[in-house]
Amino acid sequence: MKRPEHIIEDLITRQLDGTPLTDTERRELQEWLEASEANRNAFLRAYKAWGNARLAETRFNTSQALENVMARIAEASRPRSFLRPQLRRLGIGIAAAACVMLAVVGYYRLQPSTVPDIEMFIRQADTPVFTQKEVQLVLSEQKTLLLETQKSTIRYDSTAIRINNAEKTIPKKEAATFNQLVVPYGKQTTLTLADGTRVWINAGSRLVYPVVFEKQKREIYVEGEIYMEVAHDAERPFSVHTGKMDVCVLGTKFYMSSYGRDRTQEVVLLSGSVSVAPAGRSDRGIRIVPGQQAILDTSESLEVREVEAESYISWIHGYLPFDNDPLSNILERLSRYYNCRIECTPEAEALTLSGKLELKDDPAEVLKILSATAPINLQITGSGNFRIDYNPTTNNPN
Indicate if 19 and 159 belong to the same structural domain. no
Among candidates 184, 183, 149, 153, which has minimal Cα distance to 169? 153
Full residue range of the structural domain in which residue 306 is found: 118-311
Asked if 145 and 225 sit in the same domain, the reply is yes
Are residues 379 and 302 located together in one domain of the fold?
no
Contact between 145 and 139 (Cβ < 8 Å)? yes
Specify if 205 maps to a domain.
yes
Mean pLDDT of the chain: 77
For residues 131 and 32, state if they share a domain: no
Spell out where 188-301 has E strands: 188-192, 198-201, 205-210, 218-223, 225-229, 238-241, 245-249, 253-257, 265-271, 274-278, 286-288, 292-296
138 and 147 Cβ atoms separated by less than 8 Å: no
Residues 149 and 168 occupy one common structural domain: yes
Provide mean pLDDT across the span 108-114. 38
Are 145 and 258 found together in one domain? Answer: yes
Confidence of residue 337 (pLDDT cuts 50, 70, 90): confident
Q: Where is the domain boundary, 311, 335, 358? A: 311
Question: Within this chain, do residues 302 and 347 fall inside the same structural domain, yes or no?
Answer: no
Same domain, 164 and 289: yes
pLDDT at 73: 40
CATH, residue 143 = 2.60.120.1440
User: Both 144 and 220 in a single domain?
Assistant: yes
Q: Determine if residue 239 is left, alpha or beta; phi over 0 gives left, psi from -120 to 50 gives alpha, anything else beta.
A: beta
* Domain presence at residue 249: yes
Whether 395 maps to a domain, the answer reads no
- Kindly state whether residues 379 and 287 are assigned to the same domain: no
Kindly indicate the confidence band of residue 81, based on its pLDDT and cuts at 50, 70 and 90: very low
Q: Which of 283, 311, 339 is the last residue of a domain?
A: 311
239 falls within a domain: yes
**193 — pLDDT class (breaks 50, 70, 90):** very high
**DSSP H/E element including 378:** strand 376-382
CATH number of the domain bearing residue 378:
3.55.50.30
**H or E stretch at 376:** strand 376-382
Question: Taking residues 350-360, what's their average pLDDT?
Answer: 87
Give a yes or no: residue 91 inside a domain. no
Asked if pLDDT for residue 105 goes beyond 90, the answer is no
Last residue of a domain, one of 311, 343, 377: 311
* 3-class SS string, 118-140: HHHHHHHCCCCCCCCCCEEEEEE
43-75 residue pLDDT tens? 666 555 544 433 333 333 444 444 444 444 433
pLDDT-based confidence at 141, cuts 50/70/90?
confident
pTM summary value: 0.65
Asked whether residue 327 falls in the same domain as residue 360, the answer is: yes
Task: Decide if 86 is inside a domain.
Answer: no
In a domain? residue 262: yes
338 band by pLDDT with thresholds 50, 70 and 90: confident
Residue 19 falls inside a structural domain:
yes
Span 218-248, pLDDT tens digits? 999 999 999 999 999 988 889 999 988 999 9
Give me the number of domains the chain comprises: 3
Q: Are residues 307 and 322 in the same domain?
A: no
CB 80 within 8 A of CB 46: no
Instruction: Please state, in angstroms and rounded to a whole number, the distance separating the CA atoms of residues 4 and 314.
Output: 59
